[in-house]
Each structure stands twice: as C-alpha cells, then as structure tokens.
Amino acid sequence: MISPSEDAAACPAPALTAKDFRSDLKPIWCPGCGDYGVVTALYRALAAIGRPAHEIAFVSGIGCSSRIPGYTTAYGFNSVHGRALPIAQGIKMANPELLVLVAGGDGDGFSIGGGHVPHAIRRNPDLTYLVMDNQIYGLTKGQVSPTSARGTQSPTSVYGSMEEPVNPLLYVLAYGAGFVAQGVPADMDGLTKIIEEAIRYPGFSFVNIQSPCISFGSPDNQIKNQKAKLRKLSDLGHDPTNRLRAMELAQDYGRELYTGVFYRNPNPPPTYERRIAELQGRLAAPGATGA
C-alpha cells in the first residue's frame, strides 16, 4: 500500500504557469497603458515563485494600478486611498505564512499614503510593494502627482507645477529599505525577474515601475521611448550590495532611466513577524516577564 506522502512524491504537483494567476476579470485600462505589461510580468513572476494563488494576498489602494489584485486569482483587497501598506502589514501579522503583495501608484504611495512608507520600511515586514509610477494622476484625468517633474502642465497646474518631484528611489533608500529596484514594461523579461527577486527577498522590498500613462502622461515616457532610454544597472557593472552607490544612482531619477536592482541588503535583518513570533515564544515560557 502506498502512503499519502509516497503518493505525493510519485505524483508531484504540476508546475504553475502564468495562466494560473490570471482571473476571469478583463482589464479595463486604456489601450497602451503600461499596467498591462506590469500585470503580465507579475503573472510570470508568481509562476516562477511557485506558490499557489490561495497562499497569496494582494492589497491595493485607489488608482488605475490598484485594479491589479482583481485581475489575479490571489486573495485581493482593494482598500482606501493611501492605506494599502498598513492593511497589508495587518494581514501579514495575522497570517505570516501568506505571501503578501501590495500595489499602488505614485500618488497613492507618496501623497496621501506617504506617511506609511517609512514605518513599513523600519518594521521590515516580509512583503513586496509594487508602485506603478507614471508621474501623473491618471484615474482622475491628469493632475500632477508627487513624482511629476517641475514645470508639468495639467488641469490643476495650467502654468506648470512649481514643486520639485518626490524621488521614490532615494526616498525608500534613505529610510533603509533592504531591497530597492526599478523596472519598466518596455523590458518584460527584466521586469519579471525584478518582481521575482523582490518577492524572494526576506523582508520589505520595493519596486518602482515606470508604467506609462497613455492618456495623460508625458510622451517622453511612453513604452516605445522607454526602450531607447533605459539603461540596465547590470550592464553598468553596478554592485547591488553598495548602498551608497545605489543612492548616488537614485539621484538621477527623472534624468536617467535605470532599471534593475539598486540595492539588496546582503545581511537582511529579522522581519517584523519573526520578531513578534520570538517575543511570543519568550512570553509563553514558564516564568516569563517579557523582558
């Protein structure tokens, strides 16, 4: 008689494919939107990771990019504007075994939600934050966003924005994020690899994705132009363990389109959920005081 374990070994589960993570809900982004490429890269990365959809939780805020959880077969939670990160942290603490992903836009993440980013980084939960950075508010008809370049004209800045843009790469590096990368849908293979690496990193990982807005974004940032402008960090010989060099390169945000891993901490600190589990273990010991 064959035992269940022997039977499982003899008949391993079939490998997952990108199709396994694609829901029946059809995306409704504008034709040519960069987010189509992002979700396709995500499907491929999740297939490479190999975790089934029921072991994945995907949280988003509000915006065009925040529709992504609904286009996957994972558990999805479309939260309120700017609050995806604290909700995702709560999910991870409640069920540390889940693979938790977060999606949002540059407005969602660095305007109303900007105050949550540094605290997520310093706690270091094991989750991956994907920000689709199109330098504009695409869902609400093209107002300037936190990452819009100074001088950008929009319905709310007809004479051009007078503010300096937020630099998301330098922002998260300065706060101490252990994994920081940037990708573009113009390089699907590269973006897929970046997302996979971010998910595999044991701690908070951040991926800034220059995902063009075809309707309101700058013509200079459309996919066909990205292909001509992108510069792969690996081709430049960048060492992703060099945080200071990563910060130097990040200062070129808005001028150079670098893609790849800017920084990967070679000695990741314990995750927040691991620290909680260790504390719970100490408190459960006989005579524990919590000290």
Q: What are the tens digits of pLDDT across the range 30-89?
A: 888 889 999 999 999 999 999 999 999 999 998 888 899 999 999 999 888 889 999 999
Question: What pLDDT does residue 201 have?
Answer: 98
Alpha carbons 9 and 11: distance in angstroms, whole number: 5
Helix or strand holding residue 42 (H, E): helix 35-49
User: What's residue 266's pLDDT?
Assistant: 97
pLDDT average, residue stretch 208-232: 84
Model confidence band, residue 204 (pLDDT cutoffs 50, 70, 90): very high
Q: According to the model, what pLDDT value does residue 200 have?
A: 98
- Output the pLDDT for position 152: 79
pLDDT beyond 60 at 7: no
Task: Give the tokens for residue 27.
Answer: 């995306």
CB proximity list for 138: less than 8 A, separation 6 or greater? 63, 64, 105, 213, 215, 216, 217
Integer Cα distance of 248 and 245 in angstroms? 5
Please give the Cα distance from 219 to 242 (Å, whole number): 33
Domain made up of 13-284: CATH architecture: 3-Layer(aba) Sandwich (3.40)
Number of helices (H), then strands (E), belonging to the chain: the values are 10, 8
HSE, side-chain direction, 13 A CA sphere, residue 285: 9
- Predicted confidence (pLDDT) per residue in 83-100, tens digit: 999 999 999 999 999 999
Largest pairwise CA distance in the chain: 79
CA dihedral 6, 11, 14, 15 (to 10 degrees): 60
Give the model confidence (pLDDT) of 227-236 as tens digits: 889 999 999 9
Smallest CA-to-CA distance from 20 within 42, 35, 1 is with: 42
